[in-house]
Amino acid sequence: MIEIRRAQPADAADVASVYIRSFDAALPTVRRGKTDEEIIAYIARVVVPVRETWVAERDGGLIGLMVLAEDSGWISQLYLLPEARGRGLGDRFVALAKERRPEGLQLWAFQVNGPALRFYARHGFVEVERTDGAENQEKEPDVRMEWLP
C-alpha cells in the first residue's frame, strides 16, 4: 500500500534521492542546474522544513514527492521514481494539490517533457505561457500551465 504524507526533516535525504533519480530518468537530455550535493543541501535546508512537501511511501521507502509553494497555487515539484509511474500515484498527488489549493494551481514543465505535459493536460491544466528557458536554472525551454476550478 502507498501512503501519502507530509515530509518530515528525517526524510530530507530520501526526498533528495527521489528528486535526483526521477529528474535524471524523466529528463535525460536536461542538465540539472545544481549538483547532487547542492540539491541535497537545499532540500534539507529549505524544501522539507519550509515548503509544503508531501511524499509517497511504500514499504518504508519513498517513491514520490510533491512540493506546493506556501500560500500560493504553485506546484513547485512533482516527481515519481520510474517504477512508481503509471500506477495512479501522480493522479493522487494532483488531487491532493487541488484539494489543498482549491482556488487554482500553476506549474512549470519543460517543453521536452511530453509525458508530463500530457499528464497535466489530462488533469485540466492548460498552457498559458512558453519561454526559451533563459530564466530557469537549467536554461531549458519550459511551459507554464494553469488549472482553474
pLDDT digits (tens, 9 = 90+) for 7-25: 999 999 999 999 999 999 9
SS3 of residue 88 by DSSP: coil
CB 7 within 8 A of CB 13: no
Cell digits of residue 132: 526559451
Question: pLDDT tens across 69-107, in order?
Answer: 987 899 999 999 999 998 999 999 999 999 999 999 999
pLDDT on residue 32: 92
Does pLDDT of 147 surpass 90?
Answer: yes
Tell me the CATH class for 2-147: alpha beta
Question: pLDDT tens across 43-66, in order?
Answer: 999 999 999 999 999 999 999 999
Strands 142-147 and 126-131 come out as: antiparallel
pLDDT on residue 70: 80
Kindly write down the DSSP assignment for every residue of 38-94, as one continuous string.
HHHHHIIIIIHHHSEEEEEEETTEEEEEEEE-TTSSBEEEEEE-GGGTTSSHHHHHH
Domain ranges, ordered by start, for the chain = 2-147
pLDDT on residue 35: 93
pLDDT on residue 71: 77
What would the mean pLDDT of 106-132 be, rounded to a whole number?
97
